[in-house]
């Protein structure tokens, strides 16, 4: 413990020793891992900044600092000014102020500067500029010479007042730029307007909504609108204030359901809008065909509930799923109903939409890539090749009773100039082939089958219509099966027929195109 008689140095050492854990004491869990650099955001509005050099790189740094509100002093001999620097000084920056002096940098120019940047001609100049900056207590960046830098600029995503900085600690600038492009794709330009609107609304939110559930619900719904609205330039203030008023009156206001197509399985086949919906969800009700990789893209805090329906397995009744969505939405939750493939293709979305609308629940729909498109991509074909097909049909192989539907028009389905995709038809593949052949489709018509389409363990096989049951059996009936029938699959079937006639050999032959 410290004592009054201790010197300041002694007291500091004693305090430090007092907080050292005893031997065997559990280590405190770290809140973050090691950082190569500390990301900070420096307010330069109205402050002085020094930039030395007449190169394009120096001009870009001067413009960047001016955009951040700094009063920039650009120093370089007139004869050393490049085309970019001359254009910048002639036209002026888009924001901020840049002054120019026809001289080289000198020690007296560092006085009062908040930041200093130099594009040095040599290592000696870089060392001298850095030393002078540090002597004046000014953070320094020497372009392209990390040894003499106190900070780095990194790559920037500008949705000001939302600003995102990306650093690779100088190790891989190209990677930083690639990351920036990816983030820019995810963040709509209108984000800037929504951020300004958030600042404008903040006092009213603090005044009208108590800390906790209602305030959190408002900002969650606001963020959802930020990424789903079609407003090109600014936030929709009328809509936001309507939401604020509703939440002020009722904690349940603002609940909604979004039906989201998760695609065939591969996470990278999700749409950007689907990812945004997952990131904004309070609760996610997902089918058991939705892959773990897709769920990994969801908001960490979101509650996840499996509500899958699979043949010959214990399933949730559709009525119970509808009731659960209504209950959660009426409690003010943002619910995402996550369905494999596309919401509107054999996903029973119609029943869910009708139930939600009857309960007065707001419903949004985010379409996804249907499994048929992934099947075509896997086999490398076009489902509507004009030399082979004039129609494309999606047909369910699974009725309410769990059997092949009894009311299918087999004569129409037996059209040799159509491509037909059968969903959920694995266990009735033999019946499908029998009916099509009986109604006139040639037995040699090509067929293609895929299990777990688009996933790492996807398996494909191809053959003739009269062997469809064997082709399906060769990929296995324990996984989701998709069946394609039509002349567009002729090349895949030809490859399969080049091997022996057994299903296993057909599998091996088709493996060459996976």
The side-by-side arrangement of strands in the sheet containing 256-261 is: 303-306, 283-286, 334-339, 256-261, 362-366
Given 119, 236, 287, 470, the catalytic residue:
287
d(CA 151, CA 145): 11
Three-class secondary structure of residue 395 per DSSP: strand
d(CA 52, CA 140): 11
d(CA 251, CA 218): 10
d(CA 192, CA 160): 5
Tell me if residue 273 is catalytic.
Answer: no
Q: Which bin fits 95, alpha (ψ -120 to 50), beta or left (φ > 0)?
A: beta
CB 271 within 8 A of CB 343: no
Tell me if residue 309 is catalytic.
Answer: yes
**β-pair type (334-339, 71-75):** unpaired
d(CA 307, CA 284): 10
Given 309, 466, 505, 508, the catalytic residue:
309
The alpha carbon of residue 447 and the mean position of all alpha carbons in its chain are separated, in whole angstroms, by 35
Strands (E), 220-270: 256-261
DSSP assignment of 359-404: TT-EEEEE----HHHHHHHHHT--TT-TTT-SEEEEEES--TTSS-
> Which pair of tokens denotes residue 268?
């990278």
Catalytically active residues, by annotation: 287, 309
């Amino acid at each position: 413990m410290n004592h009054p008689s201790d010197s300041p140095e002694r007291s500091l050492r004693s305090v430090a020793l007092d907080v050292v854990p005893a031997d065997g004491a559990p280590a405190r869990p770290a809140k973050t891992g090691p950082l190569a650099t500390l990301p900070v955001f420096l307010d330069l509005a109205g402050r002085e900044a020094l930039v030395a050099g007449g190169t394009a790189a120096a001009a870009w740094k001067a413009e960047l600092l001016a955009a951040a509100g700094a009063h920039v002093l650009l120093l370089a001999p007139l004869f050393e000014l490049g085309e970019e620097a001359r254009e910048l000084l002639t036209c002026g920056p888009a924001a901020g102020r840049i002054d120019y002096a026809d001289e080289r940098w000198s020690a007296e120019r560092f006085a009062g500067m908040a930041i200093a940047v130099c594009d040095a001609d040599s290592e000696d100049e870089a060392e001298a500029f850095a030393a002078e900056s540090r002597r004046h207590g000014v953070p320094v960046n020497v372009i392209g010479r990390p040894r003499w830098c106190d900070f780095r600029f990194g790559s920037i995503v500008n949705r000001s007042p939302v600003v995102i900085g990306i650093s690779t600690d100088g190790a891989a600038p190209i990677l930083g730029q690639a990351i920036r492009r990816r983030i820019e794709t995810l963040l709509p330009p209108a984000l800037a307007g929504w951020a300004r609107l958030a600042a404008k609304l903040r006092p009213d939110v603090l005044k009208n909504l108590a800390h906790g559930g209602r305030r959190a619900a408002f900002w969650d719904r606001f963020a959802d609108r930020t990424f789903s609205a079609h407003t090109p330039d600014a936030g929709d203030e009328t809509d936001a204030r309507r939401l604020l008023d509703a939440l002020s009156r009722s904690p349940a206001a603002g609940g909604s359901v979004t039906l989201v197509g998760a695609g065939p399985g591969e996470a990278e086949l999700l749409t950007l809008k689907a990812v945004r919906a997952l990131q904004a969800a309070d609760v996610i009700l997902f089918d058991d065909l939705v892959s773990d990789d897709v769920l990994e893209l969801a908001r960490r805090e979101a509650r996840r509930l499996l509500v899958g329906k699979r043949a010959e397995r214990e399933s949730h009744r559709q009525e119970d799923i509808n009731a659960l969505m209504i209950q959660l939405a009426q409690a003010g939750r943002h619910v995402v109903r996550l369905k494999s493939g596309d919401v509107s293709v054999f996903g029973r979305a119609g029943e869910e939409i009708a139930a939600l609308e009857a309960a007065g629940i707001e419903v949004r729909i985010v379409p996804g890539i249907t499994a048929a498109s992934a099947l075509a991509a896997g086999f490398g074909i076009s489902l509507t090749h004009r030399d082979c097909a004039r129609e494309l049909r999606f047909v369910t192989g699974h009725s309410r009773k769990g059997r092949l539907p009894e009311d299918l028009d087999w004569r129409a389905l037996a059209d040799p100039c159509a491509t037909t995709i059968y969903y959920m038809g694995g266990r009735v593949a033999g019946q499908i082939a029998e009916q099509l052949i009986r109604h006139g489709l040639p037995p040699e018509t090509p067929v293609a089958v895929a299990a777990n389409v688009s996933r790492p363990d996807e398996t494909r096989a191809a053959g003739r219509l009269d062997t469809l049951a064997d082709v399906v059996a060769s990929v296995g009936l324990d996984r989701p099966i998709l069946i394609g029938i039509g002349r567009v699959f002729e090349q895949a079937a030809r490859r399969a027929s080049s091997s022996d006639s057994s299903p296993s050999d057909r599998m091996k032959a088709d493996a060459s195109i996976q």
